[in-house]
């Protein structure tokens, strides 16, 4: 990648600058008028390639730099809006989607955007078969049929054929995912090595047509975006956007207060409370498609007894968690579909009720309680929530031992189905109810050899009836009926599932009040920076 102009080098010195600020030595007065500077934890970035990227930060970067056929409507995420597609139609049998592209589009390179680029982008993602490829292959795309199922019939027409008559909203929502980004075939083809579709090159390069282009990425240090003057839509008001890797919330707050950054993206509740007192700083937030939950492995004989999962739902102090542990960064939410997704069910029927829990445990033959373990990743807020649950479980006679570990340790055990209880988070892969229904209510093969390793499978929850209902909802083409099917699913899961749903994440940010147009989106790839001005 190109190197940064020395004029901006001072903006990028993360460690040295943080040390200067923390020692109380003043830095510069403000950021450049044509540049947006964000402090953000960007250490999750491992690749810039949209066919491989599956991390939160890269989703945001690619959402600002690559176009797709369609995008989420950020004012109403239950809908999609045209991006490079000008229009689309669905065949009467529900199997063929035909997209007409806007005329005269160009990539940042200057190459024209054509339907052949779209088709090749689909082929590339399917044949590379990296982590997010399933979002496309679930429609029946395979390496040996993708060129027929996803093809250009002329320079401005792309035809996508699916294997079943899915709900159109499901198909279109999947096409808003990063993996469906349109890449510059001509440019990437110049960097192919050993038939790798340019994979090695695109890890650190850029080949898109979005409103911004990626100029530089230095791992755990910076990402720099610049305005794409070839963009077909409204040009970005600012020349560049710089993401500086600053992981600590306190350091981000100090940088923001001094005016050395324009936006702080990882503020924890305590720092958030401090910045709102500053008249030069504003804050914003948005509910995200991420839910936090506790799961109960049904391989554990005590946890599998009828009524036990419901009893434990009455042994969680949701009010205390909401007020003390997730204030400002989450809200209590007890259903598996996040707010904003089609079919959401905003019902929170459970509260701390020790007497009710004891009654249910006695009916289950556990009058004297039982002992259980919970695997907990060493970070907040999950550690604090686990400790709160440990205390309230004890009031009902349930002795819970916390087993701490890092993310890799806890996930490895969880995925092997060898846990008792686990606390974690789940974020939607695409803005459609199937993304969460598929994992919480679908378990077609509950054996240890099962290949569909959903969260229901991980917790050995054998639910053939719910599995059928989940598949049926996927094929319901009437939006209102489909929404009702997901609400019905959630009501059944509330009562019977081994999942204690706790809260939905709220993303927060603090920003200098001279910024205009900054708004967090409903998903991480809709956190747009290209429309911000000063």
CATH number at residue 382: 3.10.105.10
**Into how many domains does the chain fold?**
2
Query: CB–CB of 460/417 below 8 Å?
Result: yes
User: Tokens 């001509």 label which residue?
Assistant: 186
Same domain as 294, residue 199: no
Three-class SS state of 189: helix
Which alpha helices (H) appear in 248-348, and where do they start and end?
Answer: 249-258, 269-275, 308-313, 318-320
Q: What is the pLDDT of residue 524?
A: 87
Give the β-pairing of 330-332 and 85-90: unpaired
Q: Same domain for 196 and 324?
A: no
On the question of pLDDT at 348 being above 80, the answer is yes
% of the chain surpassing 90 pLDDT: 83
- Scanning 48-167, the segments in alpha helix (DSSP H) are 56-65, 115-128, 134-137, 146-149
Task: Convert the pLDDT of each residue in 431-446 to its tens digit.
Answer: 999 999 999 999 999 9
446 and 352 share a domain?
yes
Q: Could you tell me if 194 and 293 lie in one domain?
A: no
pLDDT bin (cut points 50, 70, 90) of residue 180 is very high
**253 by DSSP, 3-state: which?**
helix
**Measured distance CA(263)–CA(512) in Å, rounded:** 7
Based on the domain organization, do 194 and 321 belong to the same domain? no
What is the bridge-based pairing of β-strands 240-245 and 222-227?
antiparallel
Q: Which of 38, 32, 512 is nearest to 284 (CA)?
A: 512
Do 183 and 292 reside in the same domain of the chain?
Answer: no
Domain end residue (candidates: 167, 182, 203): 203
Contact indicator for 161, 152 with CB cutoff of 8 Å = no
CA atoms of 315 and 396, how far apart (whole Å):
7
pLDDT the model gives residue 16: 39
* Within-domain flag for 403: yes
Beta strand 70-72 with 80-82 is antiparallel
Number of residues in the chain: 534
Instruction: State the pLDDT at residue 29.
Output: 55
pLDDT band per the 50, 70, 90 thresholds, residue 34: very high
The range of the structural domain enclosing residue 495 comes to 287-506
Q: Is pLDDT at 408 greater than 80 in this prediction?
A: no
Range 487-516 average pLDDT: 96
Gap between the Cα atoms of 415 and 454, Å rounded: 9
Please provide residue 470's backbone torsions phi and psi, each rounded to the nearest 5 degrees: -65, -45
Q: Which of 8-22, 164-178, 426-440 has the lowest mean pLDDT?
A: 8-22
Residue 71 and residue 173 in contact, taking contact as beta carbons nearer than 8 Å = no
What per-residue confidence (pLDDT) applies to 499? 98
With respect to residue 339, please indicate whether it lies within any of the assigned structural domains. yes
Average pLDDT, the chain: 92
pLDDT at 271 over 80: yes
Task: Tell whether 423 is covered by a domain.
Answer: yes
Does 258 fall in a domain?
no
Let me know whether 293 and 199 are in one domain.
Answer: no
Crossing angle for the helix pair 249-258 and 14-22, to the nearest 10 degrees: 80
Confidence of residue 15 (pLDDT cuts 50, 70, 90): very low
pLDDT tens digits, 81-139: 999 999 999 999 999 999 999 999 999 999 999 999 999 999 999 999 998 998 999 99
CB 48 within 8 A of CB 33: no
Whether residue 381 is preceded by a cis peptide bond, meaning omega within 30 degrees of 0, is: yes
The pLDDT value given to residue 411? 84
- Are 246 and 41 contacting, i.e. CB atoms less than 8 angstroms apart? yes
Tell whether 349 is covered by a domain.
yes
pLDDT at position 6 is 41
Do 295 and 421 reside in the same domain of the chain?
yes
Residues 185 and 327 in one domain: no
Question: Among the listed ranges 7-21, 181-195, 442-456, 520-534, which one has the minimum average pLDDT value?
Answer: 7-21
What is the rounded distance in angstroms from the CA atom of residue 224 to the CA atom of residue 243?
Answer: 6
Is 518 a member of any domain? no
Q: Does residue 365 sit in the same domain as residue 469?
A: yes
37-to-268, 395, 518 alpha-carbon distances in Å = 19, 49, 13
Q: What are 321's two structure tokens? A: 């968690």
The Cα 527–Cα 59 span in angstroms is 9
251 in a structural domain: no
Contact status, residue 169 vs residue 343, Cβ threshold 8 Å: no
DSSP sequence for 504-529 = EEEEEEEEETT-BS----SSGGG---
- Please choose, from the candidates 515, 173, 135, 179, the residue with its C-alpha nearest in 3D space to the C-alpha of residue 343: 173
Q: How far apart are the first and last CA of the chain?
A: 28
Give the pair of three-digit tokens for residue 458.
């991980």
Same domain, 295 and 197: no
pLDDT at 4: 43
Same domain, residue pair 64 and 159? yes
Domain annotation covers residue 333: yes
């Amino acid at each position: 990648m190109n190197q940064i102009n020395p004029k901006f080098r001072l903006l990028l010195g993360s460690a040295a600058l943080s040390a200067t600020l923390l020692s109380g030595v003043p830095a510069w007065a403000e950021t450049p008028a044509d540049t947006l500077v964000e402090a953000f934890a960007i250490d999750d970035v491992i690749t810039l390639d949209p066919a491989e990227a599956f991390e939160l930060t890269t989703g945001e970067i690619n959402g600002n730099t690559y176009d797709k056929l369609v995008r989420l409507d950020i004012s109403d995420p239950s809908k999609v809006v045209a991006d490079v597609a000008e229009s689309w139609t669905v065949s009467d049998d529900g199997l063929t989607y035909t997209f007409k592209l806007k005329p005269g589009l160009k990539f940042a390179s200057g190459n024209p955007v054509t339907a052949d680029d779209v088709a090749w982008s689909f082929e590339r993602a399917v044949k590379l078969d990296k982590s997010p490829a399933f979002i496309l292959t679930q429609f029946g795309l395979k390496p040996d049929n993708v060129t027929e199922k996803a093809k250009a019939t002329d320079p401005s027409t792309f035809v996508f054929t699916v294997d079943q008559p899915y709900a159109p909203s499901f198909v279109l929502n999947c096409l808003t995912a990063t993996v469906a980004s349109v890449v510059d075939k001509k440019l990437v083809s110049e960097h192919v090595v050993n038939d790798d579709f340019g994979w090695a090159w695109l890890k650190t390069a850029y080949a898109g047509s979005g409103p911004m282009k990626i100029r530089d990425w230095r791992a755990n240090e910076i990402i720099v975006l610049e305005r794409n003057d070839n963009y077909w839509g409204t040009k970005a008001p600012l020349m560049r956007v710089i993401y500086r890797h600053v992981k600590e919330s306190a350091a981000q707050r100090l940088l923001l207060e001094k005016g050395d950054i324009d936006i702080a993206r990882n503020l924890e509740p305590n720092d958030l409370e401090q910045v709102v007192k500053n008249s030069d700083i504003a804050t914003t937030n948005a509910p995200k498609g991420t839910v936090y939950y506790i799961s109960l492995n049904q391989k554990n004989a005590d946890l599998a007894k009828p009524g036990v999962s419901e009893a434990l739902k009455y042994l969680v102090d949701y009010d205390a968690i909401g007020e003390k542990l997730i204030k400002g960064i989450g809200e209590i939410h007890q259903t598996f579909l996040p707010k904003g997704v089609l079919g959401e069910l905003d019902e929170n029927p459970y509260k701390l009720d020790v007497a009710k829990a004891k009654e249910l445990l006695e009916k289950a033959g556990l009058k004297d309680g039982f002992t259980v373990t919970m695997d907990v990743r060493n970070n907040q807020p999950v550690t604090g929530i686990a400790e709160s649950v440990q205390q309230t479980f004890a009031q009902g006679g349930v002795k819970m031992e916390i087993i701490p570990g890092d993310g890799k340790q806890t996930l490895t055990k969880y995925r092997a189905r060898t846990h008792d209880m686990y606390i974690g988070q789940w974020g939607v892969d695409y803005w459609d109810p199937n993304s969460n229904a598929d994992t919480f209510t679908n378990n077609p093969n509950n054996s240890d050899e099962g290949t569909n390793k959903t969260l229901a499978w991980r917790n050995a929850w054998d639910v053939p009836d719910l599995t059928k209902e989940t598949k049926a909802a996927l094929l319901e083409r009437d939006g209102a009926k489909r929404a009702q099917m997901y609400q019905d699913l959630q009501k059944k899961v509330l009562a019977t599932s081994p999942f204690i749903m706790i809260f939905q994440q709220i993303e927060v940010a603090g920003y200098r009040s001279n910024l205009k147009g900054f708004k967090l989106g409903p998903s991480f790839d809709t956190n747009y920076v290209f429309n911000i001005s000063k």
